[in-house]
Chain A
Amino acid sequence: MTLASLTEHDVELREVSKHFGTVVAVDRVSLQIRRGEFFSLLGPSGCGKTTTLRMIGGLEFPTGGDVLLRGAVVTDLPAYRRSTNMVFQHLALFPHLTVFENIAFGLRLRGEAPAAISRKVDAALQLVDLPGYGAREINQLSGGQKQRVAIARALVNEPAVLLLDEPLGSLDLKLRLQMQTELKALQHRVGTTFIYVTHDQGEALTMSDRIAVMSAGRVEQIGTSVEIYARPQTRFVAGFIGEANFLEGRVAEAGPGRVLIEVGGLRVLAAGDGTPAVGSPVTISVRPEHVKLGAAAGAAANRWEGRIQEVTFMGSIVRARVMVADGIALTAEVHNDVAVGLSPGAAITTGWAPQHTVVLAR
Chain B
Amino acid sequence: MARAEAVPILLPRRSGWRVVARRYAHVPLLAPGVVLSVAVFWVCMAILVIMSVYPFLAAGTPRITWSAWHRFLADPYYWGVVGTTLRLAVIVTVLSLLIGFPTAYAISKIRRPGWALATYLVLFAPILVSVVVRTYGWLLLLSNNGGVNFVLRALGLVREPVPLIFNATGIVIAMVHILLPFMVFPILSVVGQLMPDLKEAAMDLGANRWVTFRRVTLPLTLPGVVSGAQIVFTLMVSAFVTPYLMGGGKVQILSGLIYRDMEAVNLGFASVVSLVLLVLAATILAVSNRLVRHTYRRAEVERS
A residues touching B (Cβ–Cβ < 8 Å)? 14-15, 28, 30, 61, 63-66, 75-78, 218-223, 233
Contact = CB atoms under 8 A, between A and B. Distances in A.
Given A75-B14, A78-B18, A15 B8 contact: yes
B1 A28 contact: no
Contacts of A64: 10-11, 13
B18 A218 contact: no
Nearest to B7: A15
A77 B1 contact: no
A237 to B, nearest CB: 10
A220 B4 CA distance: 11
B11 A76 contact: no
Contacts of B8: 15, 28
B18 to A, nearest CB: 4
B13 A222 contact: no
Contact of B9 (A14, A61, A63): A14
B6 interface: yes
Interface string B1-39: 101001011110110101100100000000000000000
Contacts of A66: 11, 14
Given A218-B3, A221-B1, A222-B1, A77 B10 contact: no
Q: Is the interface of B mostly helix, strand, loop or mixed?
A: loop
Contacts of B19: 61, 76
* B-side interface size class: 10 to 19
Q: Is the interface of A mostly helix, strand, loop or mixed?
A: strand
Given A218-B3, A219-B1, A233-B1, A77 B18 contact: yes
Contacts of B6: 28, 30
Question: Of residues A63, A76, A78, A233, which shows the largest number of chain B Cβ atoms within 10 Å of its Cβ?
Answer: A76
A212 B16 CA distance: 31
A15 B11 contact: yes
B206 to A, nearest CB: 41
Contacts of B3: 218-219
A135 B99 CA distance: 52
A61 B1 contact: no
29 contacts: A14-B9, A14-B11, A15-B8, A15-B9, A15-B10, A15-B11, A28-B6, A28-B8, A30-B6, A61-B22, A63-B13, A64-B11, A64-B13, A65-B11, A66-B11, A66-B14, A75-B14, A76-B14, A76-B16, A76-B18, A76-B19, A76-B22, A218-B3, A219-B1, A219-B3, A220-B1, A221-B1, A222-B1, A233-B1
